[in-house]
Amino acid sequence: MGLTLRTYRTNLGWSLTRFSKEAGIARGAIKNAEIGHIIRPDTAKAIADTLSKALGEKIQVSDIEGLNIL
């Protein structure tokens, strides 16, 4: 079972603003993803790619618990 986006983000010590800058997407999109609002597939991919880069391991969208993708 994967971790939630919020858990990944807080484990990295990143704020919403820092994550959004690293991912190149709006801060609100990260917040929406964390609270379970529907997000676009390209947003989910950007989130997974950002986590992969930050953690040095491949994180798939399906590894992030609780994402609600359109």
- pLDDT tens track for 4-18: 999 999 999 999 999
The structural domain count of the chain equals: 1
Q: Which residue is listed with tokens 């798939």? A: 60
Q: Take residue 38 and report the two structure tokens written for it.
A: 């529907």
> Count of CB atoms within 10 A of residue 24's CB?
9
pTM: 0.94
CB-based contact 53:33 (threshold 8 Å): no
Q: What is the pLDDT of residues 20-46, one digit of tens each?
A: 999 999 999 999 999 999 999 999 999
Range of the domain at 34: 3-69
Q: Which residues pair with 64 in a beta bridge?
A: 3
45 Cβ partners below 8 Å, 6+ apart? 61
Q: What is the dihedral of CA 66, 60, 53, 7, to 10 degrees?
A: 20
Q: Quote the pLDDT of residue 1.
A: 60
Q: What CATH number is attached to the domain comprising 17?
A: 1.10.260.40
